[in-house]
A and B are shown apart, each in its own frame.
Chain A
């Protein structure tokens, strides 16, 4: 890996007395997709906005393509090569999708072809509609299109698939993986575990302004995901009470009863106990996912909207 495209070191951000970023460090190499995963208020947006040069940092280092994006002169040359989808993207309310994208194209020196971009993001049907009248999902796709209008080297996407239906979400994933195939560098923030796991080469889990852990999805799951588990679907209290006598590690998740899986004997013992009592339940073997890694570092699970539960 040559010089990193993004370098963040000891980054600190305070809003008044509140510390939003408390010494965050990571690097993103050329052609890498880096996922910043974290609950609401973790500091994801603050981090990317500092990198985009739209927010001032309190202390530490934040460079993009070797330059400080907040620098007036050098920052501008970095911004030419940067694509940005802000959180809660918006555009001129009374201009159409096409007019808005033509506006964004017009403020860069060598923009891509706007009709092609409209096709890429599947915005053909909306292209003559005013921005204010679009659905949330279409607005979001206009934002992604606007982020790609200058054929950027590095793209920052702050929650690119929020508010999209599953189909549109997969289409956006495809756009992101195509960017990667073309050698572009991508930094994305998300609440969605599956999105982070599927798209990212490396993931940083941000919790309360600190980077809790950093690594590839496989690495993180392998090291911190814990063992496989046996899940008794909708087992309820009866199944739990029975298994509790044989396994100290038995826990309940809602109505599901969960056992750590060490070897086949465990399964045999558990089944024997349940059959002996005449209890029945669906059984599944579960591989650890990023969710377990997240739980371990954050101390809580996260809903799809990023709330802690």
Chain B
């Protein structure tokens, strides 16, 4: 299967890049250790009283987001700049299978990241979760969402440096505003209304509600919103990734 061939190549190429590895695994793990240690200090209540579980969910969500928005944007524009995409478009490989292989790679990395984070939270901080249909569905949909956004940025912005800058400019504020580090309710009203339209807000909340809080009513709403965002960005990402030059 061509899909498997693409998946293997892009995953390897990603994991062998220092920044890929750092952003995919090391950085989120360090951040979780830091945040969860603070929140499990006696007398310091975790956000929303959820302790380490809050951070396991929201840091995982945040890094699935950065992998898509920063990672895929960088890799995509690198491959376009150095002509690999042009070489592929001269082969019978369909654009769709190329994109699917990349998304699949992101999805597997996201599941591994989630597994590592959950294990760390459980072992080090005694966090408890409910791994269920909702949490897996939300994780997968969130991966698709941010892969689509990364594809879109790589497709629309021709210059790789600009693309990488824009990726950072989108990812970091979104990470801060979407309840990764503190609950959204702790922010002033005008920032809350910004958070209310950011896709990471729904992804992060959905993951927390399904994984930690077990509030499936809210998780379902979040799943619907995240899925809608995912479909939109995947369509735009597919349309903006050009398989031939003008």
Contact = CB atoms under 8 A, between A and B. Distances in A.
A79 B92 contact: yes
Nearest to B95: A72
A224 interface: no
Interface of B: 2, 4-6, 8-10, 12-13, 16-17, 78-79, 82-84, 86-94, 244-246
A90 B244 contact: no
A104 B13 contact: no
Of the four ranges (under 10, 10 to 19, 20 to 34, 35 or more), the interface on chain A belongs to: 20 to 34
A291 B92 CA distance: 38
A86 B94 CA distance: 18
Q: Determine chain B's interface SS by DSSP, over half rule.
A: helix
17 contacts: A49-B86, A53-B90, A54-B90, A54-B244, A55-B245, A55-B246, A56-B244, A77-B92, A79-B90, A84-B87, A92-B13, A106-B9, A107-B5, A107-B92, A108-B91, A108-B92, A109-B92
Contact of A106 (B2, B17, B84): B2
Interface of A: 49, 52-56, 70, 76-77, 79-80, 82, 84, 86, 88-95, 99-100, 103-104, 106-109, 130, 146
Pick from B8, B16, B87 the residue with the most CB of A within 10 Å. B87
A76 B79 CA distance: 21
Given A92-B9, A92-B13, A55 B92 contact: no
B12 A86 contact: no
Pick from A77, A84, A109 the residue with the most CB of B within 10 Å. A84
A69 B246 CA distance: 14
A103 B5 contact: yes
Contacts of A55: 244-246
A167 B37 CA distance: 62
Given A53-B89, A80-B92, A90 B2 contact: no
Given A92-B13, A95-B9, A86 B246 contact: no
Contact of A89 (B17, B87, B92, B93): B87
